[in-house]
Amino acid sequence: MKRRQFSRARIEREENCCPDVQTKAANKMAGQAAKKAAKAREDAANLYYPIIFGVNLIYVLYRGLWCFRTFGRWQVFGLAVTSTVYYVCYHGMLEAAKSGVGGGAYFDVFAVCVAGQLVSTFSAYGTYIYMLVPGYYACLAGYWVFRKLGGWVRSQQELNASEEPSAADLKRQAKKERKAARAPRVRMR
């Protein structure tokens, strides 16, 4: 008992008289967290930047130099859009890595963009892969609308059904009433 009180008193004394120790420890921990965040951001940059550079290099070398007759204004426009998407996703993934969370939607769009650009390098049908992103968001929007509409339809059905209870509901209600009418049981130990 005395030992426990001694340790509590000691802890209180250290907390009250040595705020510099706590501040130094907190600063050290904050510094470590900042170092970990910077390291995570650097690792993410070292991973994603070569992928972006490599995919764009392959696309420009093959489509722009080897197949220069098929490299028209739509391909240049697609390269500009893809580069913009890469820029936004790259910086979003770096910030996500810095804060310690996954890339999330940025990584999903990045992966679709890389796959679409690689396939469109060798085929004209690769641009259809880019349709996955707006298609996915259209599917989410449709799900949201039908969920809201479905909730309204269900509530209307419940209103109509609540007017006349079913036989099972009547049976349950009668059972609850019988149970409530019985005297409460007292447990003896």
Q: Which of 18-32, 60-74, 98-112, 124-138 has the lowest mean pLDDT?
A: 18-32
Per-residue pLDDT, 27? 54
Per-residue pLDDT, 23? 53
What is the separation, in whole angstroms, between the first and last Cα of the chain? 35
Per-residue pLDDT, 189? 66
Q: Which of 9-23, 84-98, 109-123, 175-189 has the lowest mean pLDDT?
A: 9-23
Domain ranges within the chain, ordered by starting residue = 2-122, 132-183
Per-residue pLDDT, 155? 62
The reported pTM is 0.55
